[in-house]
Amino acid sequence: MNANERVIIVGAGHAGATVAMQLRKMDFAGDIILLGDERFSPYQRPPLSKAYLAGEEDAESLKLWPDEIYESKGIMLVQSATVAALDRAGKYVRLADKTEVSYDCLVIATGSRPREIALPGIHLAGVHRLHTIEDADGLKAAIGPGKRVALVGGGYIGLEVAASVVGLGGSAVVIEQQDRVLAGVASVPLSDYLRRAHEDRGVEFLTGVQVARIEGSKGRVTGIRLGDDRLVPCDVAVVCVGVVPNTGLAVAAGLDGANGIVVDHDARTADPAIFAIGDVTCRPMPLYDDRMFCLRSVPNALEQAKQAAAAMMGKPRPKPEVPWFWSHQFDLKVQIAGVPFDADDLVLRGDPAAGAFSAFHMKDGRVLAVETVDAPLEFAAGKQMILRKSVLSREQLVDPRVEVTALAV
Ligand SMILES: Cc1cc2nc3c(=O)[nH]c(=O)nc-3n(C[C@H](O)[C@H](O)[C@H](O)COP(=O)(O)OP(=O)(O)OC[C@H]3O[C@@H](n4cnc5c(N)ncnc54)[C@H](O)[C@@H]3O)c2cc1C
């Protein structure tokens, strides 16, 4: 990219703001325009279900960078600006107010949004979702001592919100259609452990149940009616049933994006002038034979922002990183690295009954992924094993006399 060229970034979230900063770090001297449809400057979403909801962090501390940094780095941050259309042939984007802005290079960083479910009663007052600061502020105002909160969906966000609700003196019930929480994203030992940990702290669970509708009175939620006709009374409901990528712009412009915009190892789409990064993408996984996968996490947003900036600036491609994710629930620190894809063996190190433990997902002795609870050494070592494609025996991994850090080298 030359100094007389312009990069437009659509979406001022974790990925979009980071690629802008990376470009300046790599001495890009041209225009950078960062267009975001939210009212806030780029901020971190993870605390919205954790410390921010619990009142331990404020909006200022969520900011990725202080507001003045953007101007000082020559990044034109435009807030409350929705990009409505993309013209690839003309190389410009059109905003909702009809302004057209041309680009030499475009980065789509539009993230994801909560999955909608067409439940009767979903629009009642007191029914929340959680994706933005405004959502978190609305939810925070509704929960507190004595409030009973129903979480529809037992994924990570549902569990984190349940923990925050209980921490604030309320009560929480998690309603999950699968027969266990975190089904599909965590091993059985981890989901069992977290369920027990929540139950010990007062959270109730209803698993293997369908939600038929949300009941209300005078326009306000009063409970969740299950498929078997039971009523779960509540003052507040939070629907957290996953996210879908914001691929509309890209798909309307003819890019491949059924389940996430398809990108390569440089985060480049099939259009050489267009990159896509973060939650909105479906990407190859170099540590897993380039299988295509949609990672929806902060570390992925950061990794792809670095890939795109390096490719735009003609710099060497950054080394592949091990995907990872974290979750905080009560005083528990969960850290997960890798993706278990074809794993057919699960090796536990440590005893879940005793607290800290880790679960290694293996295939033919190779560590593909590791889940840890309060086990930072196992997490760090597991990441190394995944990166190095280490082959280990079950016996080595379970033996507490063998230092896990020694196994990672
Ligand atoms: C409550 C919650 C808790 C989470 N906890 C964790 C966690 O513990 N660990 C973890 O790794 N990840 C967590 N995540 C996920 C993490 O926040 C995302 O993976 C990350 O924010 C992705 O960054 P992104 O930039 O791709 O998308 P986003 O941060 O969603 O940013 C995309 C931005 O683009 C804007 N946008 C969309 N369309 C347009 C348009 N047409 N025009 C202009 N702007 C547009 C959006 O409004 C948004 O501001 C959590 C997410 C939530 C909601």
Q: What amino acid occupies position 409?
A: V
User: Which atom of ligand 1 is nearest the CA belonging to 13?
Assistant: 31
Give the Å distance between the CA of 48 and the centre of ligand 1. 11
Question: Could you tell me if the CB of 325 is within 6 A of ligand 1?
Answer: yes
pLDDT, residue 30, reads: 97
pLDDT, residue 200, reads: 97
Question: Could you tell me if the CB of 236 is within 6 A of ligand 1?
Answer: no
Question: Could you tell me if the CB of 264 is within 6 A of ligand 1?
Answer: no
Tokens of 203: 């959270």
In terms of pTM, does the model score above 0.85? yes
Give the Å distance between the CA of 112 and the centre of ligand 1. 6
Give the Å distance between the CA of 50 and the centre of ligand 1. 15
For 25, the 3-state DSSP assignment is helix
pLDDT, residue 235, reads: 98
What are the pLDDT digits (tens) for 189-247?
999 999 999 999 999 999 999 999 999 999 999 999 999 999 999 999 999 999 999 99
C-alpha–C-alpha distance, residues 373 and 352, integer Å: 9
User: What are the structural domain ranges in the chain?
Assistant: 6-113+244-312, 127-241, 331-407
22-27 LR contacts (CB < 8 Å, sep 24+): 22/305, 22/306, 22/308, 22/309, 22/310, 23/309, 23/312, 23/313, 24/73, 24/74, 24/75, 25/309, 26/309, 26/310, 26/313, 26/315, 27/313
pLDDT, residue 283, reads: 98
Residue nearest to atom 45 of ligand 1 (CA): 11
User: Which atom of ligand 1 is nearest the CA belonging to 136?
Assistant: 1
* Angle, CA 389 vertex, CA 400 and CA 351 arms, to 5°: 25
Contacts of 328 (CB under 8 A, 6+ apart): 50, 51, 160, 163, 334
Question: Could you tell me if the CB of 350 is within 6 A of ligand 1?
Answer: no
Question: Could you tell me if the CB of 6 is within 6 A of ligand 1?
Answer: no
- For helices 14-25 and 298-312, the axis angle rounded to 10 degrees is 40
Asked if 59 and 45 touch (Cβ cutoff 8 Å), the reply is no
Give the Å distance between the CA of 64 and the centre of ligand 1. 12
Residue nearest to atom 12 of ligand 1 (CA): 297
Fold of 331-407: Enolase-like; domain 1 (3.30.390)
Task: Calculate the average pLDDT of the chain.
Answer: 96
Give the Å distance between the CA of 370 and the centre of ligand 1. 24
Same fold, 127-241 and 331-407: no
User: Which atom of ligand 1 is nearest the CA belonging to 18?
Assistant: 25
pLDDT, residue 406, reads: 86
Phi, psi at 233, each rounded to 5°:
-65, 145
Question: Could you tell me if the CB of 326 is within 6 A of ligand 1?
Answer: yes
pLDDT, residue 234, reads: 98
Sign of CA dihedral 217, 219, 224, 228: positive
Question: Could you tell me if the CB of 297 is within 6 A of ligand 1?
Answer: yes
pLDDT, residue 1, reads: 87
Question: Could you tell me if the CB of 296 is within 6 A of ligand 1?
Answer: yes
Asked if 232 and 224 touch (Cβ cutoff 8 Å), the reply is yes
Question: Could you tell me if the CB of 110 is within 6 A of ligand 1?
Answer: yes
Question: Could you tell me if the CB of 158 is within 6 A of ligand 1?
Answer: no
Q: Write the CATH number of the domain with boundaries 6-113+244-312.
A: 3.50.50.60
Fold of 127-241: FAD/NAD(P)-binding domain (3.50.50)
Residue nearest to atom 30 of ligand 1 (CA): 111
Residue nearest to atom 18 of ligand 1 (CA): 297
Residues of the chain with pLDDT under 70: none
Tokens of 402: 């063998």
DSSP state of 122: T
pLDDT, residue 203, reads: 98
C-alpha–C-alpha distance, residues 87 and 364, integer Å: 48
User: Which atom of ligand 1 is nearest the CA belonging to 277?
Assistant: 26
